[in-house]
Amino acid sequence: MSAMNNNNPFNNIFLLIVAGLLFSSCEKFIDYDVPEHTPKLVVISGFQPGEPWSIYVSHSLSSFDNEDFSPIQNAEVVLKLADGIYSQNMIYSPILERYISTGTAEAGKEYRIEVSAPGYPSVFAENKIPGPATLISLDTLEGFHNGDFSTDFELKFTNPAGEDNFFLIQLFSVETFDWKEQFENIVPIQSDDPNMDNVSDDEYGEDFLLLRDQNFDGKEYTFRFYTPNYSIYFGKGTQYKAKVFSCSEEFYRYQKTARQYQLTYDNPFSQPVQIFSNIENGIGIFGGFVVSEIEL
């Protein structure tokens, strides 16, 4: 049995970025006439193989609205295979504040979500789960970065050939207790890899790193990353687990711009960041991913 620590940003990023999407029209501005805001539906769903469907539906707010955002409970949410063979209406759960289904997604299939609600333009999106990365090995070695010693990791893997592949990489420390329950704690990491899609140069590390395969499509690749010196407190006997999220391009772009938004939203001197959306006529993300894991 395992339990994910709540510090895992992959669990929290949807909640954090909901607010960012709702206020995505907000910009640094000078005195001018602000156009009237037309509310749009906000739809957020990241789906993976074998997991029940979960769709969050809300609405956009203008940058000057004082009301709190809240889920829309009377929407019609229809999940389909893009070829139209399969279709089902999803049910709203007041406890989860999501539209849910007992069905699960399958890798390689193209899915379509259609959402409508009174007072809003109807929206839709299509996406699929890409093929997984094949993880070969995870090793550690001593490193030296930013004037201090660090723990370096080498993650060796292969990826599907003949297509663009997009990866999100995380590292966890794993604690196992006498009653066999495991707890995973996120370990901040950083990398000098030339293929990394760099979002920040934070010396304390990031909760996840982004990587594209444009220079190693279909080949075995070794991705090297490290923990900043302060996170070595986990100790030499610590067990580690690396997770590689193989993402659709849309889900990858959403995660990248969401992180950029988090880094700059309260900086008055930064350029505004528009969070990527693939929801037609609305705002949000409908994106697939699959997770591969390897322990050290």
For residue 82, what pLDDT is reported?
A: 81
Q: How many CB atoms lie within 10 A of CB 102?
A: 8
For residue 293, what pLDDT is reported?
A: 95
Kindly list the domain boundaries of the chain, sorted by start residue: 2-130+248-290, 134-246
For residue 29, what pLDDT is reported?
A: 41
Q: Is 202 helix (H, G, I), strand (E, B) or coil?
A: coil
DSSP state of 230: G
Strand spans (E) along the chain: 2-4, 41-47, 52-59, 76-81, 87-89, 91-93, 98-104, 110-116, 123-128, 134-145, 148-158, 166-176, 182-186, 209-212, 221-227, 239-247, 283-295
The candidate with the shortest Cα–Cα distance to 171, out of 95, 228, 128, 121, is 228
For residue 9, what pLDDT is reported?
A: 41
The candidate with the shortest Cα–Cα distance to 206, out of 221, 184, 224, 228, is 228
Q: What is the pTM of this model?
A: 0.83
For residue 12, what pLDDT is reported?
A: 42
For residue 289, what pLDDT is reported?
A: 94
Query: Which class is 134-246 in CATH?
Result: mainly beta
For residue 62, what pLDDT is reported?
A: 64
Each residue of 219-260: pLDDT tens digit?
Answer: 899 999 988 755 454 555 578 899 999 999 999 999 998 888
Across the 296 residues of the chain, what is the mean pLDDT of every consecutive 10-residue run? Answer: 41 45 44 65 93 92 65 95 85 95 89 96 96 93 75 91 90 77 84 85 79 88 83 61 94 90 72 87 94 92
Separation CA 67–CA 115 (nearest Å): 23
